[in-house]
Amino acid sequence: MRLFLHLTFFLLLSYALVAQDSKLNPEDFKISGDTRMTGQNCYQMTNPVNWSSGSIWHKKPIDLRAPFELELNVMLGCKDADGADGIVFTFHPKMQQTGYAGEGMGFAGLRPSLGIEIDTWENEHLLDPSYDHIAILKNGSINHAYNLAGPNRLPNLEDCQTHQLKVKWDPADQKMAVYIDGRGYIWFRKDIINKIFQGNPSVYWGVTAATGGYNNKHAICFEKLDYREAKPLESLDYRLAQKLREGEAITLPSLQFDSGQSKVRPSSMAELDQLVQHMKKNPGMILDIFGFTDSSGSRQANQSISLQRAQAVAKYLEDRGIPRKQLNPQGYGEAFPVAPNTTAAGRRLNRRIEFRLTRPIP
């Protein structure tokens, strides 16, 4: 039976964030199952008996558009040859949700989800290697055929010793890295907000552990937690919302693109999320999305990139629940400038996306 502990980082909805310090309060956590507090910021997750399970969840959601760093000490038991099974960190949009126990270790079945597994037991049918290993899992699957990264080899961790574990998330680089005792063992890059959590930037994180036909004691001590708390989404600026309702075209100040690129920047997501909320309050309306460029480059290239940017914005809105039939992306290239192209400031203004809300033709 496969046992491992998951630490999960969960995402909710928000952009306005409050920076947190590294001080931890036991009241910030929700524990269940066999988990019990053993000291300052320390918890035992499982007893060294068969079919023991426990979980611990942080009560405040984090926003994955901001950096996240967690440090803790983990102890994976004293039984090496017949000890099971390990630890995993998990991210999930709902707090205190736990997947299947035993082989599933509280992670299996959670969807959408992201889990960092530290596994000390070999389950051949799950493609586990024979050695202690670390892997990054997705969407509640514990079969290594579907990993985001790994499994990578670890030294023996069932040695009755505590080991420092650090998890870092860099949203600018879309990179997650995991370190054990100061050494990096696994990392990956992925747009987890859109590709894993379906556009939801806000999640809860937790830790789950379980034993099955074999067992070990699993324990953790939190040392540091730096994150920015997710807040409810703000409404679209009143003046912009009013213009949309009156049929005027608007631009969003933060919506910018790198030169020659059509990828939506993380810094633009907050206002686009507010636009999503506005669209949901106006069901059935059509949103025109007009892309424009400056005059640099050829007309053909400008026409192409303006359409690609409009389509990228439409895809962003669609991924967050706006029906595709309500979105009308178009590209106009360098046509219709709003400022002279002779200055950097003017060219920046001409590189824009305009939005217009209209009623469908009966």
Res 8: pLDDT: 34
pLDDT confidence of residue 9 = 32
Structural class in CATH, domain 238-358: alpha beta
Nearest residue to 108 (alpha-carbon basis) of 212, 32, 180: 212
The Cα 90–Cα 138 span in angstroms is: 9
Q: What counts of helices (H) and strands (E) characterise the chain?
A: 5, 22
In this structure, which amino acid lies at residue 168?
A: K
Structure tokens at 271: 């206002």
| Tokens coding 35 | 């988990």
What pLDDT is stored for residue 275 in this prediction? 93
* Domain residue ranges of the chain, discontinuous segments joined by +: 4-230, 238-358
pLDDT value of residue 277: 86
What pLDDT shows up at residue 16?
33
What pLDDT digit, counting tens, does each position of 162-189 carry?
999 999 999 989 999 999 999 999 999 9
Q: Please report the pLDDT score of residue 12 as a whole number.
A: 30
Q: How many residues does the chain have?
A: 362
What distance separates the 2 farthest-apart alpha carbons in the chain? 74
Q: Given this model, what pLDDT does residue 263 score?
A: 87
| List of the chain residues with pLDDT < 50 | 1-22
Q: Compute, in degrees rounded to 10, the torsion defined by CA atoms 324, 93, 90, 225.
A: 120
299, amino acid identity:
R
**What CATH number belongs to 4-230?**
2.60.120.200
Task: Say what the pLDDT of residue 176 is.
Answer: 96
Cβ-count burial 62-74 (b if 16+ within 10 Å, e if not): bbbbbebebbbbb
- Check if the beta carbon of residue 294 is closer than 8 Å to that of residue 337: yes
The predicted pLDDT at position 144 comes to 94
